[in-house]
Chain A
Amino acid sequence: MTRFLIRRILYAIPVLLGVALITLWLFHVAGGDPVAVKLGKNPDPAEVEALRQQLGLHDSFFWQYLNFLKQLVTFDFGTSWSDNTPVRQIFARGLIPTLTVSLPAFTLGSLIAIALSLLVAMKRGTLIDRFTTAAAIAGISVSSLIYILVGQWLLADQWKLFPIWGYEYGPRAVYFVALPILIWIVLSVGTDVRYFRTVTLEEIGKDYVRTARAKGLSETRILFVHVLRNSAIPIITRLTIAIPFLFTGSFLLEIFFGIPGLGSTLYTAITSSDLPVVKAFTMLGAVLYVCFNILADLLYALVDPRIGLQ
C-alpha cells in the first residue's frame, strides 16, 4: 500500500505542474490588467510602471512560473490584488462558513439520495418509482438560480420561516445556514438519485440478489447490506469527486444568502482578475482533487476485496 501511495503521489506531480502552467497562461492571455485592480481609476503612469515592476509582471513567463511553483510549495500566495489581504487570511476567514453549509448539505443530500435510490430501485415500476424519477428529472431541468431565488422569496420572505440573508459564527450559524442547506439538498438530490438508481438497478438484477431472496433474507437486508456494498464503487467515485468542491462551496448560495465563505470570495476574485486568489483556489482545488482520487482508490480496495493496490 505504501508503494501504491508513493507511486500515486508521484503521478500527481506532473498533473499539478500542468494545472499551474495552464492557470498562469490563461491569466496572461485573458486576465486583464492587474494594475487596474491595484491602482484604481486615476493611476499615475509612473506608478503603473513601478507596480508592474514590483509585481514581477516584467519577468519572463518561465520565471513567473517558477515563482508560482514556489508559492505552491510554501502555500504562500502573497496578498490579494483587490484589497491586499493575505491569501492565507482569506482562506482562514472563509473556510468555516463554507464548510458549515457544504458539509452538512453534502452529507445529508448524499444520504437522502442513496436511501431514495435504493427505495425506488426496490419499487421499480411502481408509482413511487415513477413519481421520484419524474421529480428528479424535473428538479434537474430547472436552473439552480431559480431554486435559490424562489426558495429565498417564498420560504424566507413570504412565509418568514428562515432569515433572508446573513451568517453568524458559532452555534447560531445553524439558524442562518438552514435554508441554504435545504436548497443545496434539493439541488443535488435529483441528479444523485438518477445516478444511484441506475447503479442500484444494475445490481438488483444480478444473481446474488435472487439467491439472497431465495434464502429468505429481508428486502431491507438485501438492499442495505448486499446491494449497497456492491454498488459502492460508482457511488464512492461520484462522492469523492464531489468532495473537493465542498471547499469552494456554492458561490450562488453564498452570495444570495450572505455566507462569507470561499465560494463568494472566488467569484469576486475571478470578476476582479485577482490573480493571487484565483491561483490559490485553482491549486487548492487541484491538490484536493488528486488527494481524493487517491482516497477513492483506497476505498475501492476496502469495499471490494477483488481490487488490489498494485
Chain B
Amino acid sequence: MRFLPLALLVACNPDPYPGEQGNILHVSLRTLPKSMDPPQIEDESSAKLAAHIYDGLLQYHPFARPYQLQPAIAAQMPSVSEDGLTYTFELEQGVRFHDDPCFPDGEGREVTAQDFVWAFKRLAHPSTNSRGWWLFDDRVQGLDAWRDQLREELAGQVVDSRALPGMDRPIAGLVAVDDHTLQIRLTGPYPQFLWTLAMGYASVYPHEAIEYYGDEYRNHPVGTGPFRVAEFNPVYRAVFTRSSSYRPDHVPDPENNPNERWAGWEQDRDAGLLVNAGKTVPLLDGMEIRFILEDQPRWLYFKSGYTDFLNPPKDNIADAIPNGELSEEMKSRGIRIQKWTELGTVYACLNTEDPLLSNVDIRRAIALAYDHRWTIDNLYGGEALIATSPIPPGVAGYDPDYHPYHADDGRSNIELAKQHLARAGYPGGIDPATGERLHLVFENSGSGLTQRQFSDRFTDEMRRIGITVNTVTNTFPQLTDKMRKKKFQITSLAWGFDYPDAQNILQLLYGPNKAPGIGSANFDNPEFNALYERASKLPDSPERTELYRAMTRIIADEVPWVTRAHRIRPNLQQPWLQGYKYTEVTDQYLRYVGVDDAQRDRLVAEWNQPTRWPLILAGALFLGVLGVSVRRS
C-alpha cells in the first residue's frame, strides 16, 4: 500500500510530452534502428531515420505516382552517354553539411563531387562490412577490382575505421571531374541504377565525421538533410531538430508553377495535400521518433494523439477500419485514412533442391492445397490481395490473370492437389517405397501469433492432402543459417521492394543467386535465367515488361514459391497533419509535411482528460482500511 501515495503523486497527467509540444512531428517506429551510418542502413527503422538526415544525388518525388525520381543534391537529372554507361551529375552549388563539431570551426562545409566519390568508395570498402555493397557489385568500372585487391591486402588485419586504407586510390568508374561534377561509369547496362541512387546507402556524408567519430558515427550522423540529430538513444527515441544549413527546397506548387506538375496533381490538390504548396522545406522545427516495439502501446499512443500517423497494427485494424472503412470513433476524431497496396509480396519459399520438393508436382500440390482466401480474411483482416505472382500491382510486369495453381476464388483445390500428388508418385500422400506418409518440416521465423497461425493453417491444409507437417520455430538468424546451408524445406517470407522495379524481387529466383546467395528457393531454371539476363539489360519498356511477365509465368508453373499476398496497408493520420501522402519506399516525404500544432494541443488535451473517480475510490479504500486497522490495534 505504500506505493499508493507515490502513484497518486505522479498520476493524473498522461501527457508524455509535458512542455515539449510545438511544431514537432511525433512518429513511432516498430523496430529498433541498428545504425545511421549509410553503409549499414538496411533495416526499416534505420532507413526511416536516415531519410531525414541524409540526401543523395536523387530522391523520390513526394507526390507523384507511379513513383518518380527527381534531383536532390544533383542540380538536374544526369546526362547519360550514348552507350548508356556513363552518367554525369552536376551538383547543386552551395549545399552544405550540417554544422557539427567534426568540422574545424563547427560549421558544415560545402558538399563536393569528391564527397560522393569518397562515400561510394566507403560503401564498397571491404572493412566496412557494408550491407549496401550489392548496389554497386559488378556495376561500376574498377570498383570490384579495387575492393578485391584491398580485401586481399587487408586479410587478417585490424583496420582503423577512422582511416580506411586505400581510399585515396583512383577508381576509373568514380570520377570527380571538378568540385561540382561527378561522373560514374558503369560496367554494363544497369536500368535500376538511378533508383539505387535514391536509397539511403547512396547518401553523402563528410569524411571529417568518420575521422572524428570513428565507429561512434552510427550514433552521430552528419548529412545534408533537413534535420540533424539532437538526441539519440538507439533503444528508446531519436529527437531531430531543423538544420539551419538545409539546401533551398520547397513543397511543389503545381497550381502556380506548371513546371512542377505531375500526373494526377489535381487529385492531390483536391484531397487537401497541397495546403503548404510553395512553402520552404522543412515545414517542421523538429521530429521526435520513438521506437515502440509492441503493438498495443503503439496503437494506444496514436489513439491518444501522441503520434501523428500510424499504420495500425494487424489486431487493431478490425476496430479502426471495420469493413474497410474508418470506424465511427475514428471519424468523430477527424482521423483520416490512406490505403495502398504494399510494394512487396508475402510468400512461402520452397527449397527446390530438397529431395522431396525438387519434384514439381509436389510443389504444385502444395500450392493448390493452400487457401489464400482464408489467410487474407483471417490473418490480414481482409486487407490484402491474392498474390498470383511475385510482382505486386503498380509495378511493371504485374499479371493477376495467370495462375494455373491458384484457384480463381483463392480457395484450396484439394482434389486437383491430390491428383498432382499422385502424379508425383505419392498417391494419397503415401510414399509407396516405405508405406509412410509424406512429411514436411515448416520453418517458422519468430514465435509471433501470425506466424503460428499461418503454420497451423498450413499444417491443416497439408493434412487434407495426406501430408504431415512438423513446425520448427527459429530466430531469424537461425532461419537464415538454414537457408544459406539449404537445410530447410518450407518457410514463410516477405520481400519489400528496395525500388519499384520487378527486378528487385525476381533476382531472388535467378539461378546464380541461389544459396548461399539470396535465392533461398535455390530455383535454377535455364529459361528463367535467360529471360532475367535479357531483362536486366533493358530500360523500362514494354519489351522488358513482357519479359517480366514471361518470368512470372515460369514461376507460376514451376512453383518455387507459393506467392501468398500483397498486403493492403492502411495509414491513419491525425486531423492536424498537413500535406501528408504516404510514400512506401522512403520517409523523405516527411520533410514536406506540416502540423497544425494549436489544433493538436487542443485535441490532445481534450482526448486525455484523466478519470479521477478510480483514484478517489482507491484513496477512500486505503484510508478506510487504515482507519479500521488503527482502531482495532
Partner pick for B480 among A33, A85, A159, A185, CB 8 A cutoff? A33
Q: B292 to A159, Cβ gap below 8 A?
A: no
Q: A83-B218, A83-B234 are in contact. Are A153 and B477 (CB under 8 A)?
A: no
Q: B42 to A36, Cβ gap below 8 A?
A: no
Q: B478 to A31, Cβ gap below 8 A?
A: yes
Q: A42-B518, A50-B155, A182-B7 are in contact. Are A265 and B235 (CB under 8 A)?
A: yes
Q: Say if the beta carbon of B433 comes within 8 Å of chain A.
A: no
Min CB gap A278→B, angstroms: 11
Q: A160 to B610, Cβ gap below 8 A?
A: yes
In the complex, which of the residues A31, A46, A79, A85 has the most CB atoms of chain B within 10 Å of its own CB atom? A85
Which residues of chain B come closer than 8 Å to A160, judged between CB atoms? 14, 304, 608-611
Which residues of chain A come closer than 8 Å to B148, judged between CB atoms? 46
Q: Say if the beta carbon of B212 comes within 8 Å of chain A.
A: no
Which residues of chain B come closer than 8 Å to A220, judged between CB atoms? 633
Which B residues between 606 and 628 are near A, CB-CB below 8 angstroms? 608-611, 614-615
Q: B446 to A271, Cβ gap below 8 A?
A: yes
Q: Say if the beta carbon of B453 comes within 8 Å of chain A.
A: no
Which residues of chain A come closer than 8 Å to B598, judged between CB atoms? none
Among the stretches A200-208, A250-258, A286-294, the one at the interface with B is: A250-258
Q: Say if the beta carbon of B321 comes within 8 Å of chain A.
A: no
Which residues of chain B come closer than 8 Å to A46, judged between CB atoms? 148, 151
Q: Say if the beta carbon of A296 comes within 8 Å of chain B.
A: no
Interface residues on A, range: 35 or more
Partner pick for A108 among B3, B15, B477, B615, CB 8 A cutoff? B3
Q: A164 to B475, Cβ gap below 8 A?
A: no
Which residues of chain A come closer than 8 Å to B137, judged between CB atoms? 44
Among the stretches A6-14, A18-26, A173-181, A229-237, the one at the interface with B is: A173-181
Min CB gap B55→A, angstroms: 23
Q: Say if the beta carbon of A260 comes within 8 Å of chain B.
A: yes
Which B residues between 127 and 168 are near A, CB-CB below 8 angstroms? 129, 131, 133-134, 137, 148, 151, 155-156
Q: A50 to B126, Cβ gap below 8 A?
A: yes
Q: Say if the beta carbon of A111 comes within 8 Å of chain B.
A: yes
**Chain B minimum-CB-distance residue to A115:** B1
Q: A157 to B303, Cβ gap below 8 A?
A: yes
Which residues of chain A come closer than 8 Å to B7, judged between CB atoms? 178, 182
Q: Say if the beta carbon of A156 comes within 8 Å of chain B.
A: yes
CA distance A48 to B517 in the complex (A): 11
Which A residues between 70 and 106 are near B, CB-CB below 8 angstroms? 79, 82-85, 93-94
CA distance A258 to B633 in the complex (A): 43
Q: Say if the beta carbon of B16 comes within 8 Å of chain A.
A: yes
Which B residues between 583 and 632 are near A, CB-CB below 8 angstroms? 608-611, 614-615
A-B contact count (CB 8 A): 171
Q: Say if the beta carbon of A17 comes within 8 Å of chain B.
A: no
Partner pick for A181 among B3, B475, B615, CB 8 A cutoff? B3
Q: Say if the beta carbon of A152 comes within 8 Å of chain B.
A: yes
Q: Say if the beta carbon of B263 comes within 8 Å of chain A.
A: no
Q: Say if the beta carbon of B481 comes within 8 Å of chain A.
A: yes
Q: Say if the beta carbon of B233 comes within 8 Å of chain A.
A: yes
Q: B156 to A53, Cβ gap below 8 A?
A: yes
Q: Say if the beta carbon of B300 comes within 8 Å of chain A.
A: yes
Q: B14 to A260, Cβ gap below 8 A?
A: no
Partner pick for B12 among A37, A161, A174, CB 8 A cutoff? A161
Min CB gap A156→B, angstroms: 6
Q: A185 to B3, Cβ gap below 8 A?
A: yes
Q: Say if the beta carbon of B236 comes within 8 Å of chain A.
A: yes
CA distance A83 to B32 in the complex (A): 10
Partner pick for A38 among B15, B129, B301, B610, CB 8 A cutoff? B129
Partner pick for A256 among B35, B296, B615, CB 8 A cutoff? B296
Q: A32 to B516, Cβ gap below 8 A?
A: no
Give the B interface residue count (CB, 8 A). 66
Q: A160-B610, A164-B300, A272-B476 are in contact. Are A32 and B3 (CB under 8 A)?
A: no
Interface of A is mostly: helix
Q: Say if the beta carbon of A149 comes within 8 Å of chain B.
A: yes
Question: How would residues 134 to 177 of chain A score, 1 for a CB under 8 Å from any chain B CB and 0 otherwise?
Answer: 00000000000000010011011111111111110000001110
Q: A153 to B296, Cβ gap below 8 A?
A: yes
Q: Say if the beta carbon of B2 comes within 8 Å of chain A.
A: yes
Q: A36-B484, A182-B7 are in contact. Are A272 and B475 (CB under 8 A)?
A: yes
Q: B16 to A163, Cβ gap below 8 A?
A: yes
Q: Say if the beta carbon of B297 comes within 8 Å of chain A.
A: yes
Which residues of chain A come closer than 8 Å to B215, judged between CB atoms? 79, 84
Q: A50-B151, A181-B3, A273-B477 are in contact. Are A175 and B301 (CB under 8 A)?
A: no
Q: B35 to A84, Cβ gap below 8 A?
A: yes
Min CB gap A47→B, angstroms: 7
Q: Say if the beta carbon of A264 comes within 8 Å of chain B.
A: yes
CA distance A43 to B297 in the complex (A): 35
Q: Say if the beta carbon of B230 comes within 8 Å of chain A.
A: no
Q: B3 to A182, Cβ gap below 8 A?
A: yes
Min CB gap A42→B, angstroms: 4
Which residues of chain B come closer than 8 Å to A260, judged between CB atoms? 233, 235-236
Q: Say if the beta carbon of B306 comes within 8 Å of chain A.
A: yes
Q: Say if the beta carbon of A299 comes within 8 Å of chain B.
A: no
Q: A36-B481, A174-B10 are in contact. Are A165 and B475 (CB under 8 A)?
A: no
Q: Say if the beta carbon of B420 comes within 8 Å of chain A.
A: no
**Chain A minimum-CB-distance residue to B157:** A54
Partner pick for A159 among B134, B474, B610, CB 8 A cutoff? B610
Q: A83-B234, A157-B300, A164-B304 are in contact. Are A111 and B480 (CB under 8 A)?
A: no
Q: A112-B1, A160-B14 are in contact. Are A30 and B235 (CB under 8 A)?
A: no
Q: Say if the beta carbon of A249 comes within 8 Å of chain B.
A: no
In the complex, which of the residues B12, B129, B476, B517 has the most CB atoms of chain A within 10 Å of its own CB atom? B129
Q: Say if the beta carbon of A243 comes within 8 Å of chain B.
A: no
Which residues of chain B come closer than 8 Å to A42, judged between CB atoms? 131, 133-134, 518
Partner pick for A85 among B3, B133, B155, B234, CB 8 A cutoff? B234
Min CB gap B173→A, angstroms: 18
Which residues of chain A come closer than 8 Å to B294, judged between CB atoms? 255-256
Q: Say if the beta carbon of A39 comes within 8 Å of chain B.
A: yes
Q: A33 to B484, Cβ gap below 8 A?
A: yes
Q: A45 to B516, Cβ gap below 8 A?
A: yes
Q: Say if the beta carbon of B13 comes within 8 Å of chain A.
A: yes
Which residues of chain A come closer than 8 Å to B35, judged between CB atoms? 83-84
Which residues of chain A come closer than 8 Å to B615, judged between CB atoms? 161
Which A residues between 254 and 270 are near B, CB-CB below 8 angstroms? 255-258, 260, 264-265, 268, 270
Question: How would residues 109 to 125 of chain A score, 1 for a CB under 8 Å from any chain B CB and 0 otherwise?
Answer: 00110000000000000
Q: Say if the beta carbon of B290 comes within 8 Å of chain A.
A: yes
Q: B475 to A32, Cβ gap below 8 A?
A: yes
Partner pick for A153 among B11, B293, B300, B474, CB 8 A cutoff? B300
Q: B235 to A264, Cβ gap below 8 A?
A: yes
Which residues of chain A come closer than 8 Å to B517, judged between CB atoms? 45
**Chain B minimum-CB-distance residue to A271:** B475
Partner pick for B133 among A34, A47, A84, A158, CB 8 A cutoff? A47
Q: A164-B297, A271-B476 are in contact. List 17 more A-B contacts (CB 8 A).
A: A30-B478, A33-B478, A33-B481, A39-B129, A84-B215, A153-B300, A160-B14, A160-B609, A161-B614, A164-B16, A164-B300, A165-B292, A174-B6, A178-B11, A256-B297, A268-B235, A271-B446
Q: List 19 A-B contacts (CB under 8 A).
A: A32-B481, A33-B481, A34-B477, A39-B131, A44-B133, A44-B137, A45-B516, A47-B133, A50-B151, A51-B129, A53-B155, A83-B234, A149-B296, A156-B300, A160-B304, A161-B611, A175-B10, A181-B3, A273-B478
The 6 A-B pairs with the shortest beta carbon distances in the complex, nearest first, are: A32-B477, A33-B481, A32-B478, A36-B480, A273-B477, A260-B236
